[in-house]
A and B are shown apart, each in its own frame.
Chain A
Amino acid sequence: MMPAKSDLPQGTLDLLILKVVALGPVHGYAIAQRLQQVSRDVVQVPQGSLYPALHRLENRGLLGADWKETETGRDAKFYRLTRKGRAQLETEAASWQRLTEAVGLILRMSEGGAE
């Protein structure tokens, strides 16, 4: 019933969360939903890890949080990116880019080499 999903490499969850939150204040459930939607269900966020990750990022000062009402009138904890979090997002995103490019290069080369 569930589409094939990939395990998230170590440390990428934080990066993804930061990216989602960067789009505007958002609560935990919406973060999980959005990650799933945007990745076209490829990335299945382990919800059990989401909240500890959010709390850790909050604790490190990368995220801020406020209690606000949702459109349905319920109180929810909305996370937002702090200045420190934005800087962290930029460096991590950049290094992720470099890493994936490098990994891609290596993979293509080895394919070419093997045949």
Chain B
Amino acid sequence: MTWWHRLWRRRQMEEQLEKELRFHLDQHTADLVAHGHDPEEARRQARLALGGPEQVREKCRDARGTRWLEDLLQDFRYAARQLRSNPGFTAVTALTLALGIGASTTIFSAVNPILFEPLPYPHAGRLMMIWDIFKDSRSDVTFHSYRELVERNRSFDAMAVFEAWQPTMTGPAEPERLDGQSVSASYFHVLGVSPTIGRDFEATDGRFHGPKVAILSDALWRRRFGGDSTIVGRQVTLDDDSYTVIGVMPRAFENVPGPSAGIWSPMQYDTGNIREQNTGEWGHHLRMVGRLRPGVSRDQAKRELDTIAHTPVPEFPRVPWASLKHGLIVNSLQDDVTRGVKPALLAILGAVMLVLLIACVNVTNLLLARGAQRRGEFAMRAALGAGRMRMIRQLLTESLLLATLGGALAMVVAEFGVDALVALSPPELPRVAAMRVDATAFAFALGITTLIGLVVGFIPALHASHGDLLTGIEHSSRRTAGGHQLTRRTLVVAEVALALVLLVSAGLLLRSLERLFAVAPGFDASRVLTMQVQTSGHRFDESIGEVENSARRRFFVQALEAVRQVPGVAAAAFTSLLPLSGEQYGEYGTQFEDKRGYNVFRYVVTPDYFKVMGIPLRRGRLLDAHDVAGAPPAVLISESLAKSKFPAQDPIGQRVHVGSIDRPWYIIVGVVGDVKQASLAVSQPDAVYITTNQSWFVDEAKSLVVSARGDAAALAPAIRKAIWSVDKDQPIVRVATMEAMLAASAAERRFALILFEAFALAALVLAATGIYGVLSGSVAERTREIGVRAALGASRGNILALVLRQGMTLTGLGVAIGLAGAAAAGQAIAAMLFGVSRLDPVTYLGVIALLLGVSAIACWVPAWRAARVDPAITLRAE
């Protein structure tokens, strides 16, 4: 029998002990009777011989070795009774803890899979991302560089490259643009995951012009193919080509390098053209991931790759732009996917820990206050012989029980919290699918719950068990203010300080977001609907030079015409690049007549683009219907480019090459306002605009912008129908109003802000209740003193001021200490700030005013109560 077994069978053990002792007595009595004793006398003697039955039983219980547990059970029962008898106190403390523990468990659940947990692959720590270096920052690798590294390195078990691939699936259903990846055949092998149905890619799948095959994600397989188990061997049509499905990935597979990918196909680059320069194989558009050999460290691998980079060999000739002369970057895959969000997540984690801390401080204070009320009870128990350790244990049991209650509620909070968090999460956040209250999160909650139970109980327990009997009993007459008031005040000061830190951080983030939205995007987003229209399929195959009559151009022209006919459409235009859409590729080299080159955004637009987007003309003229193929090539430049390039002269009439310098010059005909392209926070306004008719190629995908007469969003179905009336197989994605795009561009900041605001609000409420609680307690304990003061002639105003002063002194102290903390916290969130200083005086002053105001309200009630103390009553009560 184990001890807990014995414990569970306690009742049975008790019965058996009883029975055993009774048997002994009966037997002894019977023996004595047999020897001629009178039965009454026999029983008496037998009892005498055995000793006091209760003592024997007690000793037997001790001998069982479960004594401590039985005591614990008793403590728990007593604690439970205590909590039940004070439902108000229990509810407030349990809810406060539930808030603190729940919030921190929620954040932990979200942050843990991103920052702390290994990625969901075998030996995930050995997965590395490998980058080329261009202009001191990381850059995608070329296919031939990848090939060279694969052949020459000894540090990696396997390497793979991948790139985004968005094929359009056509067939009986609506055309659908899929998110997928084009990968080297080794991709899944590197990650260490294989398909559950069918087979993985093999080296032969990756050969040039090899058969077209694809592997599906579990989600896509279920959604599009109803989870059909005979899927392997089925043909699907992607971009007008027929692909054979060869496998389906496991349901649990998480594709961290490309979370949205639902379909994979092997890339089939030509390995034989390494000596030709102008090929896709020499383009920097691949991401590279490798699995280190066991025992090889990241640094060793980096050193080896750098050595390879610096010692070219004749079998692997290189081109100037992929010379690898700056070496390579080797990062763990985990660091790579989290690098953008890590500072924000750590700041949020820190913030929630502050909330938890404040909640704990508050509960400690409540326990202290209750300890003061229960002083008489403790004194009584001490008088009856309870040891100090025993009392501390009893009180710790109570606080643990409270914490457990709070912890249980917290799991409910966390369960909802994580759902809310996932719904709120910005697109930049990796591993959203892995966010849930799992075993780790549960262990975290359990751990902090226990810790909190012990910590919040410890100070009150020490206080309560502290001091001798006399003062305890004496205390019930409330003659003195008590040393625990000092502890409680200290805790309130701490609470105010912590709240200030959170409020300032939230304030700075709020101001940042305000500043961000105050930034003029350079266009008018109201009543503009946008969507990306794509072209896919062999019907658009073309060779260079057929631009004018290409099927793709015809499609876009007809589509635009169809959209214009839709009722409610005021104007419509296509652009190759849409501001704030997250499109990254749009930068082109330009060269002016002085041979100086600039990287600028290149917008290929139809003339109405400026009208729809409300981009203002600064000088010259806009593009118009006359800027067609045969006419002199016309270009508009952005204001900033005009200023930096032509500070003293008129840019109109100047010439510029956009893209290749082999084509004719474009002539600058006008200057338009600057537009935010990448994000509101990034100033990168150099841009050129040319018409579709005068571009040297037609982009495969264009964004349609439509200005609506009424509600822009409501037009979407009609516009889609109009485009599909031209060609039903062309996918339309990313349908959104321009206003939504604008809001989404700040999603990450907004996410952080919402959390910080929530935490700061919680902190403010907790701090206010803390101040209120301490002052109320203080007023209650000082009733007599206040009564005396009143009797001696203090006016109500005097007493009001007395209590208010006491409360505001605590707040003031807390604010002073909190300022230092806030300055430090500002450092931690510096990366998330925009347009405000870490020490923004407006934020600081606003927060201080808010805190003082709220604490004044919290002080007012107890102060008012104190002022109404009737001296006659208090003095008589003594």
Contact = CB atoms under 8 A, between A and B. Distances in A.
A77 B21 CA distance: 10
Interface residues of A, number: 20
A28 interface: yes
B38 to A, nearest CB: 15
Interface stretch (B22-30, B149-157, B316-324, B611-619): B22-30
A9 interface: no
B24 A52 contact: no
Given A46-B51, A51-B60, A75 B65 contact: no
B24 A47 contact: yes
A53 B23 contact: no
B24 A75 contact: no
Contact of B52 (A48, A49, A52): A48
Contacts, number: 55
Contacts of B20: 27-28, 51, 76-77
Contacts of A96: none
B64 A74 contact: no
B50 A48 contact: yes
Interface size, B (range):
20 to 34
Interface string B13-50: 00011011101101110010000000000000000011
B28 A55 contact: no
Contacts of A29: 23-24, 27-28
Given A59-B65, A76-B23, A52 B50 contact: no
A37 to B, nearest CB: 12
Interface in A26-42: 27-29, 32-33
Contacts of B56: 48, 51-52
A35 to B, nearest CB: 13
B202 interface: no
B23 A52 contact: no
A27 B64 contact: no
Given A59-B65, A75-B19, A52 B59 contact: yes
Interface in A43-79: 46-49, 51-53, 55-56, 59, 67, 74-77
Contacts of B711: none
Majority SS at the chain A contact face: helix
Contacts of B21: 51
B23 A77 contact: yes
A74 B20 CA distance: 11
Contacts of A33: 31
Interface in B630-662: none
Contacts of B51: 46-48
B514 interface: no
B63 interface: yes
A67 B20 CA distance: 10
Contacts of B62: 52
Nearest to B20: A77
A29 B52 CA distance: 16
Contacts of B27: 29
A8 to B, nearest CB: 15
Given A47-B49, A47-B51, A55 B64 contact: yes
A82 B26 CA distance: 28
A57 to B, nearest CB: 9
Contacts of A56: 63
B257 to A, nearest CB: 57
A36 to B, nearest CB: 11
B55 interface: yes
A27 to B, nearest CB: 7
A28 B64 contact: no
Contacts of A59: 63-65
B51 to A, nearest CB: 3
Interface in B43-89: 49-52, 55-56, 59-60, 62-65
Interface of A: 27-29, 32-33, 46-49, 51-53, 55-56, 59, 67, 74-77
19 contacts: A27-B20, A27-B23, A28-B23, A29-B23, A46-B51, A47-B24, A47-B49, A47-B51, A48-B50, A48-B55, A51-B20, A52-B56, A52-B60, A52-B62, A55-B17, A55-B63, A59-B63, A67-B16, A74-B26
- Which 8 residue pairs spanning A and B have beta carbons closest together? A48-B51, A52-B59, A56-B63, A55-B63, A29-B27, A52-B63, A29-B24, A55-B60
